[in-house]
Amino acid sequence: MFSLVEHVGHIPPYAILSHTWGADHDEVTFKDIVENTGQSKAGYKKLRFCGKQAANDGLQLFWVDTSCIDKSSSAELSEAINSMFQWYRKAVKCYAYLSDVSTTSPSQHSQSIQKSRWFTRGWTLQELVAPASVEFFSVEGHRLGDKHSLQQILHEITGIAIGALQGSPLSQFSVDERMSWVGRRETKRVEDAAYSLLGIFDIHMPLIYGEGREKAFHRLRREIKEGSEDAKTALSPISNVPFRRDPDFVDRGTLLNQVRTKCSVPSSCVALVGLGGVGKSQIAIEHSYRVREESPNTWVFWVHAGTQARFKEGYQRIAETTRMNGWNDPKTDILQLVRSWLCDQRNGQWTMIIDNGDDASVFSHNRSQKRGADSVDQSAEPLSDFLPQSPNGSILVTSRGRDVAYRLTGSHASIIEVKAMDENDALALLRKKLNSSIGKDDAVALLQALDYMPLAITQAAAFIEQRAPRVTISRYLDELCTGDHNRARLLKKDVGDSRRDGRASNSIIATWQISFEHIRRQRPTAARLLSLMSLFDGQGIPESLLHDRYGGDEDGEADFDDDIHTLTSFSLVKMSADGREFEMHQLVQFSMKKWLELNQELELWQATYATLMDDSYPVGLHENWPVCQALFPHAQTVANNQPNNAKTLKSWASVLFKAAWYASEMGQYSKAYEMGSAAYRVRETILGAEHPDTLNSLNSLGLVLDWQGQYSEAEAMHQRALETKERVFGPDHPDTLTSMANLALTYGNQGRWKDAEELEVQVMETRKTKLGADHPNTLTSMANLALTYGNQGRWKDAEELEVQVMETRKTKLGADHPNTLTSMGNLASTYKNQGRWKDAEELDVQVIETSKTKLGADHPDTLTSMGNLASTYWNQGRWKDAEELDVQVMETRKTKLGADHPNTLTSMGNLASTYKNQGRWKDAEELEVQVMETRKTKLGADHPDTLTSMDNLASTYGNQGRWKDAEELEVQVIETSKTKLGADHPDTLTSMANLASTYWNQGRWKDAEELEVQVMETRKTKLGADHPNTLTSMANLASTYWNQGRWKDAEELDVQVVEMSKTKLGADHPNTLSSIANLASTYKNQGRWKDAEELEVQVMETRETKLGADHPDTLTSMANLASTYRNQGWWKDAEQLDVQVMETRKTKLGADHPDTLTSMNNLAFTWKGQGRHAEAIDLMRECVQLQRRILGVSHPHSISSSTALAGWEA
């Protein structure tokens, strides 16, 4: 149901309908609306359509002539017909409803539109020309296009000039031309053939129905003639801007305000400068309309300055628009005439827009060829002299060139730079152009791909809209990104844009190539520099790589400063703040490469670029990291453009080989493998499989596979390299030994330490013989062998080698050489494995201090040594000190290497471990989840490091009593590890032991036992019966026996572990002491309190001596002894120890640390045993409250303490 609404004065936004009338009885009249009838009439469908479409466009009001004009009143009808042109012009939307065009046959749309009756009716002429926006709809209400997207078809059907369709003032078109637009149009009433043209000629006259067609036209022509005479005597200021106002214009921040402010200064000349397609002309068009809105008495003129001919053509149009005296005299000098008129303040205020003022020669030379003469007039004034500086006017220039803009404005302060849109403005433009709701993610991705360039966005939107619904933003983006061919095809599309100069291309590529051609003509060396720069990554192009690399002029010289100034002046290149680096829009680079391809120069420049990068990209040394980092994006662009000729291919492969090394150092293993593989393939093809460079590539690929955890593939790669080198170079050649050492590394990663040892001994002995015992390579092989000994638990053997390496390096290289420091760090690690934490700490501190001085506080080696010291603190129970270092290392690595670098993730894992020991399980969990997810993304779900992080997280879940969560992760790790590494790999066995521990905590003793037996037996076979890991698994199995009440079985294993640990590790090694404590616990469960006490006293005293009285392990042994005293009823002795442990833990670990809460629980039980019930209950209440808050209500410790308290209070 619709109702009439009357507005006087300000009229809100509204839509308007253009349609063809049916039979009078079918149309819904003014009376029908007033009386709420007519719903059954055929014409009511048009009202429903118009109302619905207006609502879709956010409009509450719409106007339809059949229903909104009261034809019973001749006065109202006359007023309506005289005003109708303005009503259509002021409508926000005009909907042309083509009742004879159906969308049931999409392929015949164009033919159906051309045959529509709508184009034969008289009134639809003004309804097509007047509105800024006309959208065409089928009888089903489906959108067919608009006046601008269909402008060529509309021009062909109607003969109406495209300029008139685009919104140019109709006064620019002659009376005869406008009359010709009527063609064979018909009207129901013969007089309406003339009356329907009133708005076309801006005429108002009374309607006399019955006067006939001829008299009506006679009166119309008389009015037109009289109006023309009046115009000659007194023309009101108008605008001759040849473009309609853009309804989709997006106001970009302060740009228009800047233009308005600067142009408001009398005699001002202001310039908008920016890249072609960045929206300069659109800003100028919008400015012109705002000037007319704010000051209707101001003339607005538009002059295209692409050539001298077009400049003069623009001045001719100014003369015609103003009808200045002499404007139509062929002998008049139009340039002089217009300048004089503009300088005459009696002619009023004016604003002139000089569009496309890009070419300085247009303004600096005015050579007019005289007919029949061979000479050129050199005396004529340059066109710039015809730009008046009159206090009653202002000039706005749009230009691609800053230099041209400066010459015209005379001041840098008068230049306004127009940059690409920001994301919000670009998104707003895209949404307006598509006239529909769009997904933000796809839209933003498209805008990024289009560099936020308004012209590119507009053209993309037009392409999408014209081909909807088959083409969406997502599909367009996919095609844009699937290859250079598709990208070029889309960006070359010229879908028409009525807001741009009709003689200019609307393709973004063609737009920029105009600038390229201009630069080539004006300054060839700048064009060559741009050619080279287009091949770099768009960001951070170093000046240092450009000098003398792009060829000089005819004299062989190039002035880089002048060349780069030319490119920045045209906004093709942007300079950094310090002037040492440059940037280019990716679309500009792409367009430039397509231009080079068109000119058959692309391969030449690609070869130049590959050679340049090979010369510039440094070899793989840490001190070259900053340069590698700066050039890495450019190396990636080299990788994307593989050349054809062999000479260039060699340089291309060299760049990729060096860049792959840096990528692997940065933990970008996939990128490293991709680049390294490409380099290897090319080298194998052009150099041969046995060339040293090819074998180096093969070597590097094997190392990358190692880092990716693909050990089988790495082994095959290293084996292949080794066999080839043995055949080509011989078994004792340095390169052969390097491959042998790499293969040993892979064996080590596979847990095949015997195989690794065999190869490393061979490498070491051969190097000793060939190079000498103190050669750096020999020392490296000794260090590698020591590492393998360490993995086998042969710490004495490892220590012996590491001391030897360290001392030799001190002598040969110096105490502060990085290699010496590395060997000191290795020795400290071995001391740590031996439980010699003071010795380890001493070395770690020494390495850190020297490394800071020698290499710098943020050097990777320094950070590694800090991480090592943190680990030593951790083992000493100095968790605050460890945390402080861990945080420092983590934050520095994030800054230096990135948040997802493998070393950064390792330091995050270390910090999580420290948090865990402090009982900060939530903090640990948060970090471990982050590490796990990042490793999954960066390294893959089955990478060994990813599996380690999953195990760590499972351990944290276990600490929180979340056994099911822990079990789920651990099962997943085991299965993946078995597939990836093998069932007997050390990491797989560790994961199985972890799962057994989780079963153990769930009371699933049989499941735990089954796994622990399997782990123990496999370790005995693979590592040996006395390997520390084997002993650990024996102890774990003993613990399971213990929980099953199989104390004899437990005791047997415990005794065995103690004896072997004493022999293998020493009587005071931390692992030995732990095994003694386990045996004591077994004795305790057998009621052998004295035997247990004797062992526990021994452990406690040894730990006090070795670790200190307040070390966490010492406190644990004191708590164990207190428990034994309690079991024997020695309450005072137990209390003394319980209090000491609790107070020390409060001081060292904090009052809310889980271990502190455990000691509170223990003391409460001791007091209960002493009959001190009230004190015991109070302490247990405090303990329960803290446990519930810290550990959670469902944690096993919380439940155990709560149960005890409930029993005491009953």
Question: pLDDT by residue (tens digit) across 56-91?
Answer: 999 999 999 988 888 877 767 788 888 899 899 999
Instruction: Report the pLDDT value the prediction gives residue 505, as an integer from 0 to 100.
Output: 47
When mean pLDDT is compared across 333-347, 616-630, 953-967, the lowest value belongs to 616-630
Which pTM was predicted? 0.64
DSSP annotation of 545: G
Cα 608 to the chain's mean position, in Å? 30
Contacts for 1051 with CB less than 8 Å, ≥ 6 apart: 1038, 1079, 1082, 1083, 1086
Q: What is the pLDDT of residues 318-350, one digit of tens each?
A: 998 888 888 877 788 899 999 999 998 889 999
Averaged over 1085-1104, what is the pLDDT? 93
**CA-wise closest residue to 991 among 1039, 923, 942, 1058:** 942
Instruction: Report the pLDDT value the prediction gives residue 371, as an integer from 0 to 100.
Output: 34
Residue 484 one-letter amino acid: D
Confidence at 376, pLDDT banded by 50, 70, 90: very low
Instruction: Report the pLDDT value the prediction gives residue 375, as an integer from 0 to 100.
Output: 35
Structure tokens, 1060:
């072997």
- Cα-based distances in Å from 1140 to 998, 1122, 1150: 31, 10, 14
Q: What is the pLDDT of residues 1143-1171, one digit of tens each?
A: 999 998 888 888 999 999 999 999 999 99
Averaged over 595-621, what is the pLDDT? 89
State yes or no: pLDDT of 502 exceeds 50.
no
Q: What is the pLDDT of residues 101-159, one digit of tens each?
A: 888 765 556 667 888 999 999 999 999 999 989 999 999 999 999 998 888 889 888 98
* Mean pLDDT, the chain, whole residue set: 88
Confidence at 172, pLDDT banded by 50, 70, 90: confident
Classified by CATH at the fold level, domain 1129-1210 comes out as 1.25.40
Residue keyed to tokens 């393998």: 788
Instruction: Report the pLDDT value the prediction gives residue 483, as an integer from 0 to 100.
Output: 61
User: What's the CATH number for 507-600?
Assistant: 1.10.10
Averaged over 1079-1100, what is the pLDDT? 93
Instruction: Report the pLDDT value the prediction gives residue 82, as an integer from 0 to 100.
Output: 85
State yes or no: pLDDT of 11 exceeds 90.
no
Instruction: Report the pLDDT value the prediction gives residue 494, as an integer from 0 to 100.
Output: 47
When mean pLDDT is compared across 553-557, 857-861, 985-989, the lowest value belongs to 553-557
Instruction: Report the pLDDT value the prediction gives residue 586, as an integer from 0 to 100.
Output: 84
Confidence at 307, pLDDT banded by 50, 70, 90: confident
Share of the chain above pLDDT 90, in %: 53
- Residue 139: which region, alpha, beta or left (left: phi > 0; alpha: psi -120 to 50)? alpha
**Polymer length of the chain:** 1210
276 CB-contact burial (10 Å; exposed 0-12 / middle 13-18 / buried 19+): buried
The CATH class of 255-366+382-417 is: alpha beta
Q: What is the pLDDT of residues 746-789, one digit of tens each?
A: 999 888 889 999 999 999 999 999 999 999 999 999 999 999 99
Instruction: Report the pLDDT value the prediction gives residue 379, as an integer from 0 to 100.
Output: 45
Averaged over 472-497, what is the pLDDT? 65
Share of the chain above pLDDT 70, in %: 94
Averaged over 1028-1054, what is the pLDDT? 91
When mean pLDDT is compared across 429-443, 492-506, 1117-1131, the lowest value belongs to 492-506
The two beta strands, 269-273 and 143-146, are: unpaired
State yes or no: pLDDT of 894 exceeds 70.
yes
Instruction: Report the pLDDT value the prediction gives residue 234, as an integer from 0 to 100.
Output: 52
> What is the sign of the dihedral through the CA atoms of 592, 598, 604 and 606?
positive
Concatenate the DSSP letters of all residues of 1011-1068 into one string. HHHHHHHHHHHHT-TTSHHHHHHHHHHHHHHHHTT-HHHHHHHHHHHHHHHHHHT-TT
Interatomic CA distance for residues 448 and 1059, integer angstroms: 68
Q: What is the pLDDT of residues 663-674, one digit of tens each?
A: 988 888 889 999
Confidence at 244, pLDDT banded by 50, 70, 90: confident
Q: What is the pLDDT of residues 910-920, one digit of tens each?
A: 999 999 988 88
